[in-house]
Amino acid sequence: MAKVVLIALGGNAIKQAGEKGTSEEQFRNCSKTAEHIVEIVKNLDREDRLVITHGNGPQVGNLMVQQKLAEEVVPAHPMDVVGAMTQGQIGYMLQQSLENNLKRMNLKVPVCAIINQVLVDKNDPEFFGDKASKPVGNFLTEEEAKELKKKYPDYIIKKVKANGERCWRRVVPSPDPITNLEAEVIKKLVESGVTVIASGGGGIPVIEEGEGNYKGVEAVIDKDLAGERLAEIVGANIFLILTDVEEVKINYGQPNEQGLGKITFEEAQKYFEEGHFLAGSMGPKVKACLRFLANGGERAVIASLDKALEAFRGESGTIIEKA
């Protein structure tokens, strides 16, 4: 039976920790990422399909800093436009990198990145008070976080890692994705054999106004939760979340810390409800996997990008399946 595989790429697929984020660095990372993806393509049957989504947190954060510094010279753009700009940027880099690596392996697979909107609820709790939860930009020390808050009092800054020196990041509203507005186009492309790069950065967040018109909002949608919505649209069987860790852990940072290999849906749900996964880190990933399986998916995997093929085969990472 034909399979549909959806890959959600983490930030390390485009920008590594400690890098400045130059175009050269990001193209180099995208090329390495493409090599891992092509290994999966080589293991797909002719009728199988592949869909890719990606994050854009560092790129959005950096672009917003650039805009802030230059706002007296050129006008700054709202966050939805910044999201669209980085969606195009990363989509271009991944598309070209995939095309080059596919060509090198003599694989004739068309690739297309699309600018993609995702509908959210204007009354989502994330838009009110300090409920914002989506990290953007670089990780900060506590001192750097205090300095940033002092400089920009309207920023919401939270601790998003349990331990380590750089545990702080700016957070912005992250409304729950409802549906993908370009769903029909994406389905047609996938059905025709195109490897589609869509919902980049979680998609451009838009709300529906009174007359049915769409309008962008100041927010960033979590790419894994939006990826799950995309997986529903294309009827994905396998959902691979590729990040910078080999497996999900419970009791993270504690003496009884434990990595999770193959677990059931019920076990994953239990750990999630017990609060083992931080909202700004592993929480949305596990939540997306649970939604995927609840909505008919067969297997969800959270794994290291460096072991993408093994994750696809069910040999690496935290593998969640229904019992």
Quickly list DSSP for 65-126: HHHHHHTTTS----HHHHHHHHHHHHHHHHHHHHHHHHHHTT----EEE---EEE--TT-GG
Residue predicted with more confidence, 68 or 291: 291
Spatial CA neighbour of 287 closest among 176, 123, 181, 128: 176
User: Each residue of 89-129: pLDDT tens digit?
Assistant: 999 999 999 999 999 999 999 999 999 999 999 999 999 98
Phi, psi (rounded to 5 degrees) for 176: -70, 130
Count the helix, strand and coil residues of the chain and give each as a percent rounded to the nearest 5: 40, 20, 35
Least confident of 59-73, 230-244, 258-272: 59-73
Q: What is the pLDDT of residue 231?
A: 98
- The model's pTM: 0.91
22 phi-psi bin (left φ>0, alpha ψ -120 to 50, beta other)? beta
Q: Could you tell me the CA-to-CA distances from 41 to 4, 49, 51, 98, 132 in Å, in that order?
A: 11, 9, 11, 10, 37
Nearest to 181 by CA among 211, 214, 225: 214
Q: Is the pLDDT of residue 188 over 90?
A: yes
Instruction: State the chain's mean pLDDT as an integer.
Output: 94
Mind giving me the DSSP string for 281-315? TTHHHHHHHHHHHHTT-SEEEEEEGGGHHHHHHTS
Which residues carry out catalysis? Answer: 11-12, 134, 223, 285
pLDDT band at 254 (very low <50, low <70, confident <90, very high): confident
Total length of the chain? 323
Lowest mean pLDDT among 30-44, 151-165, 182-196, 303-317: 151-165
Residue 280: pLDDT above 70?
Answer: no
Q: What percent of the chain has pLDDT over 70?
A: 99
Specify the pairing of strand 49-54 against strand 195-197.
parallel
What pLDDT is recorded for position 62? Answer: 87
* Residue 234 parent element (H or E): helix 223-234
Res. 205: pLDDT tops 80: yes
Q: What's the average model confidence in pLDDT over 52-76?
A: 90
pLDDT of residue 68: 83
Only one residue has tokens 């976080």, namely 145
